[in-house]
Amino acid sequence: MYSGNPRGAWTLFTREVNRFLKVKVQTIVAPALTAILYLVVFRYALGDRGVPGLGIDYFTFLIPGLVMMSMLQNAFANTSSSIIMAKVMNVHVYLLMAPLSAVEVVGAFIAAAVLRSMLVGAVLLLTLSPFVDLSPAHIWMILLYGICGSILMGGLGLIGGMWSKKFDDMSLINNFLILPLTFLSGVFYSVKQLPPLWQQLNAYNPFFYLIDGFRFGFLGVGDSDPATAAGVVVAAAILTVLACWYLWSIGWRLKE
């Protein structure tokens, strides 16, 4: 009877962490530079203009959204890139042969994605803190949405990596699913500024609740009910992890 392999799971986790730390300029520093460029552009384009209905200036409104967007993208990139590279080089079979359960493999991959996401978020906040005074209104909400968002996107990256057979497939997911949902989630604007139809469609976009809830943790204002948003993101994260466990346990698109 299999009794678990915590040392093996830890080894896989440390391998994934070392993998993104070896290129930390690309995985951690680059997102900070990208966020600063966004801020510079929007700062000079919009000046001191406020956000309608929220009573805060646009510059302050923008920073939490940029941080969360970078965290989500990096969590997705960490797991998806690892799996697709292993499949392209045909070394993913070693993971299937390793004495690791589906829970241990999925847990190690997602834990590494969460760590990378949190590191990116911390670096971004430290980099952007001189530009604006961000005094967290609800630290527990920042952690809740940050961790749940990282788990959700790490899991989606794992599923995307399992589904993809080549890098073009992964680009398809990123360009036609992840990026549109992220940009429509209210990173750069309040969704209340959208036409009613788009506001209704955004109610089914989990990225909207992640961005808005994370922003609420910093500013104390948002476009959605915090309790509803928390329920949506926690449920989405749990369902994604369960889907990852099931798909890995049956070797979905990994044994072809």
Give the 3-state secondary structure of 62-131.
Answer: HHHHHHHHHHHHHHHHHHHHHHHHHHHCCCCHHHHHCCCCHHHHHHHHHHHHHHHHHHHHHHHHHHHHHH
Percent of the chain predicted with pLDDT > 70: 95
Per-residue confidence band for 47, with pLDDT thresholds at 50, 70 and 90: low
pTM: 0.92
Is 254 a domain residue?
no
Instruction: List Cα–Cα distances, 189 to 52, 54, 172, 207, in angstroms.
Output: 9, 11, 26, 14
- Which residue from 256, 84, 54, 241 is spatially nearest to 171, judged by alpha carbons? 84
Q: 134 or 177, which is more confident?
A: 177
Query: How many other CB atoms are found less than 10 A from the CB of residue 165?
Result: 13
How does residue 1 score in pLDDT terms, banded at 50, 70 and 90?
Answer: very low
**Total number of domains constituting the chain:** 1
The whole-number average pLDDT for the span 147-164 is 96
CA distance 60 to 38: 13
Residue 221 Ramachandran class (φ > 0 left, ψ -120 to 50 alpha, else beta): beta
pLDDT digits over 84-143, tens only?
A: 999 988 888 889 888 999 999 999 999 999 999 999 999 888 887 777 777 788 999 999
Alpha-carbon span 212 to 69, nearest angstrom: 11
pLDDT digits (tens, 9 = 90+) for 51-95: 776 778 888 888 898 899 999 999 999 999 999 999 988 888 889
| Cβ neighbours of 173 (radius 10 Å) | 19
In a domain, 58, yes or no: yes
Instruction: Reply yes or no on whether the pLDDT at 46 is more than 80.
Output: no
Q: Residue 15: inside a domain, yes or no? A: yes
In a domain, 41, yes or no: yes
- Mean pLDDT score, 140-154: 96
Domain that holds residue 156: 6-249
Q: What's the whole-number average pLDDT of the chain? A: 88
Q: Give domain status of residue 86, yes or no.
A: yes
Answer yes or no: is 42 within a domain: yes
d(Cα 197, Cα 102) in Å, to the nearest integer? Answer: 41
Q: Is residue 255 part of a domain?
A: no
> What is the sign of the dihedral through the CA atoms of 64, 188, 206 and 111?
negative
Check: CB of residue 143 under 8 Å from CB of residue 184.
Answer: no
Does 182 score more than 80 pLDDT? yes
Residue 36 lies in a domain: yes
